[in-house]
Amino acid sequence: MAAIARTVLARGLHSSTRRHALSKFTMPAMSPTMQEGGIASWKKQPGETFTAGDVILEIETDKATMDVEAQDDGVLAKIMVGDGSKGVKVGTTIAIMAEEGDDISGADALASESSSSDAKSVPSEYNKDAEDSKAESKQSPTSPALSAGTEAPKSMAPQGTKDTSAAGQELGKGKKDLSKGDRIFATPIAKKIALEQGIPLAKIKGTGPEGRITREDVEKYKPGSTTAAAAQSSASKASKASNEPVASEYTDMPVSNMRKVIASRLLQSKLELPHYYVTVDVDMGKTNKLREVFNKSLAEKEGGAKLSVNDFIVKASAMALKDVPDVNSAWMGETIRQYTKADICMAVSTPTGLITPIIRDVGGKGLATISSEAKALAKKARDGKLQPAEYQGGSFTISNLGMFGVSHFTAIINQPHAAILAVGATQATLAPAPHEEKGFEVKHIMKATLSSDHRVVDGAVAARWLAAFKGYLENPLSMML
């Protein structure tokens, strides 16, 4: 059964004189860095009672799906954020709770109150637009000051005469357009110039923020140019529409919280860290032979698990980190933090994205222990049941694509680590062998590439670490000493 993340429901206590008290249940932070999450599913429905230890709901974090248990007995009065909701901020009210015997008829009112307070706590785009609209209305064409100004040119013309000028005709058309009720957004100086020159703002296409008409737009306006501009705009839109694929040719997939975090962190790492790459060829012949011997011995034991090549790679990495501790470090801004233990993250592919569970203190563990822990963590990762302590932290990362037949690749550093090792597949390669009668021999070569942060690890240091790593795998018995 999945490990349970115990979360205390934030409830107000009943006083001896007050019954029928309801309480808000807010989105909990399942880890110190969690800012938002998703509601995977509610395990209780409105009106259902629960006891301490019951699972109330499942919450999706950026790394896993975690259960939330009740610490006390109670009743789920109302659900405010339903199943499948994404991007729910920590601290947002997601449900109303009560105790047995409480009157839950007031749950709707408390939910409405909570929704209002949550909306006020975070300024919305709607509120921002409303403020802009209020400011705009002070300078809008329907304001008293502007209405009086628009009548001035008319009163100056002799009665009984008709304005046949081009500007006058355009102004008349502009007034007809304005009468349709469309709001025109323009800067105060643009409105003043348009009023003085009799230029209809309805005929001008704004180039300012959100289509606002600026002074330059008014000064560049020429009567009759609007039609050509509109025709050109229509043609460009038609051309753009013809080049865009129809909806049946693609599928838009929703971005999960985990994928958002992966995208953000990898982009940040690639932009901020001065990556460089060092590659070495490792002869895996002796490691493969020793692995066969160990697996044969383990197979004779009941329930014995097989060792993988990756288990040897993890162990060799830990030994190399002990020999070259500068690589077992992290950039902390004002300091470089050097770790005393090799807590190695291994990249695991899951249906929702990449995650890096951690094998703690690898240097102090044997191959069998490393193998069993790696398998258990990989299973929990694919099931989405990892706890924060199992994937947060670490000092070094390994990404192995050898099982997919990839011969060589480079990996992006997992911040704040100083390095990450990219491991390819072991391939049979012909190599010169003067001592052989044929003059050549077949070696099983694996390419390993270390991506390093040049702020922490210099090129010579990376080369020394790879030499130590190579040495342990080409002489695997040295890891047992």
- Cβ contacts of residue 91 below 8 Å, gap of 6+? 26, 27
**Which contiguous run of DSSP H or E holds residue 415?**
none
The question of whether 417 is a catalytic residue gets the answer: no
Q: What are phi and psi of 118, to 5 degrees?
A: -65, -40
Distance CA(14)–CA(448), nearest Å, equals 62
Give the pair of three-digit tokens for residue 98: 């009560």
DSSP string, 266-322: HHHHHHHS-EEEEEEEEE-HHHHHHHHHHHHHHHTSTTPPPPPHHHHHHHHHHHHHH
The question of whether 20 is a catalytic residue gets the answer: no
239 SS3 class: helix
Determine whether 469 is exposed, middle or buried from the number of CB atoms within 10 Å of its CB (0-12, 13-18, 19+): buried
Distance CA(305)–CA(300), nearest Å, equals 10
- Count other Cβ atoms within 10 Å, centred on residue 182: 8
In Å, what is the CA distance from 341 to each residue of 259, 325, 362, 475? 30, 9, 8, 23
Q: Yes or no: say if 321 and 327 are a contact pair by the CB < 8 Å rule.
A: yes
Q: Which residues are catalytic?
A: 454, 458
